Amino acid sequence: MALTINSTYKLTNGVEIPTVGFGTWQAADGTEAKNAVLDALKAGYRHIDTAAIYGNEKAVGEAIAEFGIAREDIFVTTKLWNDIHTYEAAKVALATSLEKLGLDYVDLYLIHWPNPISIRHNWEERNQEVWRYMEEALEAGLVRSIGISNFHERHIDSLLKTAKVVPHVNQIHLSPSEMQPEVVAASDKHGILVQAYSPLGTGSILQVPELVAIADKYGKTPAQVAIRWSLQKGYNPLPKSVTTSRIIGNIDVFDFELTDEDIKIIESLGGTGNVASNPDEQGF
């Protein structure tokens, strides 16, 4: 069945998630973030991705409330930051995020990074501990699905030693210039949906001649081609922008389809843009 703006993926627990989401990273200013989310909702996005560390959960919640959409018609993701190390702290963190968002529940809650520098000596225990609370939050209806972000295979395997619920999502830095095949394979092995943050390679690939040529062929932008590539690979792209025209353009990707040859060319572009950070070497 052809993808449309209303298409969804079904997570392993049956929850449906819109195929394209709107990312809000780097839109920390309250007014800027609120206006961007309002633009996104007007353009047809029904999946908004935020995080505690972004500093914009309140603005995201205000935009959702102002737009007036029914709660069941929007999918909201937020994330647990690196300074949360225990079961009790995770409980407070989620409650704080819900209060800022003005919501009774979020649709997806993620561990933002697997190996914070402050607890690098016992990252495994930390992830298992906060995951235990996230599983309870899932059972209590405070979240509809739970997942991870920036987790590599070793982090996934460690979490699964004690997890009762396999993560529903793994959100990673993923674009035609950074395809992370090992992480994708590790996620696929467990039925974990791969979400693509920075699906445009933080803009670094949009001037690559091969991508521009494919875009010209379809009367599309290189950004639209990169997002379409993510969709045809079965990923869940989360493009972000604070520019109205780009917000609108980034979801206008359902009226064309890349050929196998197009995809082959696109996948030859690895290394032409920004690459993913090693989560075990992050300085935060």
54 is annotated as an active-site residue: yes
Tokens found for residue 9: 């993926």
Ordered strands of the 108-111 beta sheet: 22-23, 47-49, 75-80, 108-111, 146-149, 169-173, 193-197, 236-238
The catalytic position among 54, 109, 133, 197 is 54
Instruction: Classify residue 72 as exposed, middle or buried by CB count within 10 Å of its CB (0-12, 13-18, 19+).
Output: exposed
Query: At a CB cut-off of 8 Å and minimum separation 6, what does 95 contact?
Result: none
Cα four-point dihedral sign 62, 68, 71, 73: negative
Contacts of 202 (CB under 8 A, 6+ apart): 273, 274
Name residue, tokens 């190390």: 85
Rounded distance, CA 21 to CA 260, Å?
A: 25
Catalytic residues, by residue number, are: 54
